[in-house]
Structure 1
Amino acid sequence: MEYGNRKAAPMLGAALALASGLMASLAGAEEVVLAPMVIIGETQDGPVDAFASEREEASTVYRLDAEEVALFGAAGGGNAYSLVSRLPGVQMQLVDAYGLVNMQGGNKGLRVRGEIASHGANGTVEGVPLNGPGPGPGYLFLLDAENIDSVSLAQGPIAPDRFSLYDTVGQLDTRILWPKAEFGGKVSVGAGENDFSRTFARLDSGRLPTGTAMFLSGSSTSAQKWRGHGDSPERHETFAFGLSQDFGRLQAKLFVAHNEMVGDNYKGLTYEEARHASRYDDIDYDRYPSGTTAAAWANWQGYNRQSFETSAFLSEISYRLGEHTQLVLKPFYSKEEGYYLYPNGNFVRRWDIDHTTYGASSELHTRWGETGLKFGYALVSMEPPGPPNAWRHYRPDASGGLTFNNWALLAKVTDRHEMHNLFATAERRFGPLEVKGGVRYVRDVLPSIDYYDTAGVTAEDFDDAIDQSSGVVDARSVQSTTIREWAPYLGLRYEVSERLELRAALGRNVGSPAFDAFQKPPVAGLSKQALWNASEMEIGDTLDLAARFSFSRGYFEPVLYYTRYRNKGVDIYDPAYNASYTQNIGKAHQLGLTLAGGWQLRPDLDMFGNLSFMRSQFDDDLLVGVGDVREVEGERLPDVPARMATLGAAWRFGRFTLTPVVHYMGNRYADIEHTQRMGGYAVANLDLTHRLKSRHGQFTTSLAVINLFDKRYIGFNNANETSNGSTFYPGPPRTLVGKFSFEF
Structure 2
Amino acid sequence: MKLKLPLLSLVAITALHATPLSVEKIVVNSNIEEEENGLYLSDEKQGSKQNKQTFTQKSLSTLSTQANMNPYTVIQFSPSVNFTPVDQTGSNEPAYHDPIRIRAKSQTGPGGVYLINGTPISSNPGGGKQMVDLENISSVDLHKGYLSVNKNLGFSSLIGKIDLNILKAKNKAGAHLSQSLGSNNFSKTFVRFDSGAMGDLRVFGSVSALKNDKTKGEGDQQRFNGMLGLSYKPNERFSSELYVIRNIDEHHNYASLSYAEAKDLDTYFSKDFATTKPTTASNNYYDWNKQEFYTTAVVADLTYKAGKDDTIVLKPYYKTDKGQYWFSKTKNSTPMVMNWQMEHDLYGAIASYDHSFGDAVNAKVGYWYHKQLPPGPPTDQKKYVVDGNGDLSYKGYGILADTSYHTLQAPFVELSGDLDKIHYSVGLQYQTFTLASIDSYTGTTSATSMDHDVALTQATLDSWASVGEKKFNTFIPALYLSYDLSSTDTIYVDYSRTYGFDVNLFPTYASNRAAFVVQGITLQSLWDDLELETSDNIDLGARVQTGAVTLNPSVFVSFVNNKQANIYANGVNYPANVGKALGYGAEFAANGVITESLEFIASLSYNRYYFTEDFQASATETTDIKGNQLPDAPEFMAKGALSYTLKDWTFTPSVRYTSSRYGDAANTEKIDAFTLVDLDVAYKAPKMFGSKNTLFRLTATNLTNQKYISTIIAADNALAADSTSSTYQTGAPFGMYASLNLKY
Same fold (TM over 0.5): yes
Letter in structure 1 aligned against 2:317: F
CA displacement, residues 46-67 of structure 1 (integer Å, 9 cap, x when unaligned): 9845396665444420111222
Letter in structure 2 aligned against 1:543: I
Matching of residue 592 in structure 1 with residue 585 in structure 2: yes
Residues 228, 245 of structure 2: 8 Å contact kept? yes
1:383 maps to 373
1:224 to 1:640, Cα distance in 2 relative to 1, 3 A: same
Residues 664, 726 of structure 2: 8 Å contact kept? yes
1:572 to 1:254, Cα distance in 2 relative to 1, 3 A: farther
Letter in structure 2 aligned against 1:537: L
CA distance in 2: counterparts of 1:416 and 1:496, whole angstroms:
49
Residues 331, 359 of structure 1: 8 Å contact kept? yes
1:177 maps to 167
CA distance in 2: counterparts of 1:573 and 1:94, whole angstroms:
34
1:9 maps to none
Of 619-628 and 334-343, more deviation after overlay is shown by 619-628
1:304 maps to 289
Alignment equivalent of 1:285, drawn from 262, 273, 276: 273
Letter in structure 1 aligned against 2:255: K
2:409 maps to 420
Matching of residue 633 in structure 1 with residue 623 in structure 2: no
CA distance in 1: counterparts of 2:537 and 2:182, whole angstroms:
43
Task: Using structure 2 for the length normalisation, give the TM-score.
Answer: 0.89
1:562 maps to 557
CA distance in 1: counterparts of 2:550 and 2:142, whole angstroms:
20
CA distance in 2: counterparts of 1:223 and 1:149, whole angstroms:
26
Letter in structure 2 aligned against 1:496: L
CA distance in 1: counterparts of 2:740 and 2:449, whole angstroms:
51
1:419 to 1:628, Cα distance in 2 relative to 1, 3 A: farther
- Aligned to 1:76, the other structure's residue is in SS state coil
Residues 39, 68 of structure 1: 8 Å contact kept? no
1:729 maps to 729
- Aligned to 2:442, the other structure's residue is in SS state coil
CA distance in 1: counterparts of 2:619 and 2:159, whole angstroms:
30
CA displacement, residues 649-703 of structure 1 (integer Å, 9 cap, x when unaligned): 1100001110011111011111111110011111100100112475731111110
1:108 maps to 98
Matching of residue 270 in structure 1 with residue 262 in structure 2: no
- Aligned to 2:268, the other structure's residue is in SS state helix
CA distance in 1: counterparts of 2:561 and 2:186, whole angstroms:
44
Residues 354, 365 of structure 2: 8 Å contact kept? yes
Residues 414, 426 of structure 2: 8 Å contact kept? yes
CA distance in 2: counterparts of 1:228 and 1:685, whole angstroms:
23
User: How big is the shift at 1:131?
Assistant: 3.5
Alignment equivalent of 1:343, drawn from 309, 313, 328: 328
Residues 39, 56 of structure 2: 8 Å contact kept? no
User: How big is the shift at 1:76?
Assistant: 1.7
Residues 39, 650 of structure 1: 8 Å contact kept? no
User: How big is the shift at 1:626?
Assistant: 6.2
Letter in structure 1 aligned against 2:630: L
User: How big is the shift at 1:161?
Assistant: 2.1
Residues 689, 703 of structure 1: 8 Å contact kept? yes
Residues 483, 535 of structure 1: 8 Å contact kept? no
1:261 to 1:507, Cα distance in 2 relative to 1, 3 A: closer
Residues 30, 648 of structure 2: 8 Å contact kept? no
CA displacement, residues 250-308 of structure 1 (integer Å, 9 cap, x when unaligned): 2221111111111211001111111111123441111112x42222xx11112111111
1:326 maps to 311
User: How big is the shift at 1:593?
Assistant: 0.6
Counterparts of 1:319-718 in structure 2, within 5 Å, are 319-345=304-330, 346-369=335-358, 370-413=360-403, 415-456=404-445, 457-469=447-459, 471-517=460-506, 519-520=508-509, 521-522=512-513, 523=516, 524-570=519-565, 583-598=576-591, 600-623=593-616, 629-692=622-685, 694=687, 696-718=691-713
1:125 to 1:710, Cα distance in 2 relative to 1, 3 A: same
CA displacement, residues 554-586 of structure 1 (integer Å, 9 cap, x when unaligned): 122101111111112346899x99xx9754232
Residues 400, 444 of structure 2: 8 Å contact kept? no
User: How big is the shift at 1:515?
Assistant: 4.6
CA displacement, residues 456-492 of structure 1 (integer Å, 9 cap, x when unaligned): 54311111211211x2111100100101111212211
User: How big is the shift at 1:77?
Assistant: 2.3
1:184 to 1:301, Cα distance in 2 relative to 1, 3 A: same
CA distance in 2: counterparts of 1:173 and 1:572, whole angstroms:
35
Alignment equivalent of 2:223, drawn from 236, 249, 273: 236
Letter in structure 1 aligned against 2:146: P
2:23 maps to none
Letter in structure 2 aligned against 1:699: T
1:287 to 1:416, Cα distance in 2 relative to 1, 3 A: same
CA displacement, residues 407-428 of structure 1 (integer Å, 9 cap, x when unaligned): 1111011x21101122111011
User: How big is the shift at 1:455?
Assistant: 4.3
User: How big is the shift at 1:201?
Assistant: 0.2
Unaligned segments of structure 2, at least 5 residues: 11-26
Residues 72, 85 of structure 1: 8 Å contact kept? no
- Aligned to 2:60, the other structure's residue is in SS state helix
1:212 maps to 201
Of 449-458 and 171-180, more deviation after overlay is shown by 449-458
CA displacement, residues 120-142 of structure 1 (integer Å, 9 cap, x when unaligned): 4322111111144x3123x3221
1:129 to 1:667, Cα distance in 2 relative to 1, 3 A: same
Identity over the aligned pairs, expressed in percent? 26
- Aligned to 1:412, the other structure's residue is in SS state strand
- Aligned to 1:530, the other structure's residue is in SS state helix
1:17 maps to none
1:33 maps to none
Residues 711, 729 of structure 2: 8 Å contact kept? yes
Residues 229, 301 of structure 1: 8 Å contact kept? yes
CA distance in 2: counterparts of 1:75 and 1:704, whole angstroms:
7
Residues 51, 609 of structure 1: 8 Å contact kept? no
Task: Using structure 1 for the length normalisation, give the TM-score.
Answer: 0.89
Residues 508, 540 of structure 1: 8 Å contact kept? yes
Residues 40, 67 of structure 1: 8 Å contact kept? no
User: How big is the shift at 1:42?
Assistant: 2.5
Residues 376, 503 of structure 2: 8 Å contact kept? no
Letter in structure 1 aligned against 2:364: K
Task: Please tell me the root mean square deviation across aligned C-alpha atoms, in Å.
Answer: 2.7
CA distance in 2: counterparts of 1:646 and 1:282, whole angstroms:
26
CA displacement, residues 164-219 of structure 1 (integer Å, 9 cap, x when unaligned): 2222201211111121111001000000110000101000111102x111111101
Residues 39, 659 of structure 1: 8 Å contact kept? no
CA distance in 1: counterparts of 2:542 and 2:467, whole angstroms:
49
Of 340-349 and 372-381, more deviation after overlay is shown by 340-349
Of 600-609 and 267-276, more deviation after overlay is shown by 600-609
Unaligned segments of structure 1, at least 5 residues: 1-22, 30-37
1:52 to 1:114, Cα distance in 2 relative to 1, 3 A: farther
1:53 to 1:591, Cα distance in 2 relative to 1, 3 A: farther
Residues 123, 172 of structure 1: 8 Å contact kept? yes
- Aligned to 1:474, the other structure's residue is in SS state coil
Number of residues paired by the alignment?
700
CA distance in 2: counterparts of 1:39 and 1:348, whole angstroms:
54
2:232 maps to 245
1:14 maps to none
CA distance in 2: counterparts of 1:462 and 1:722, whole angstroms:
35
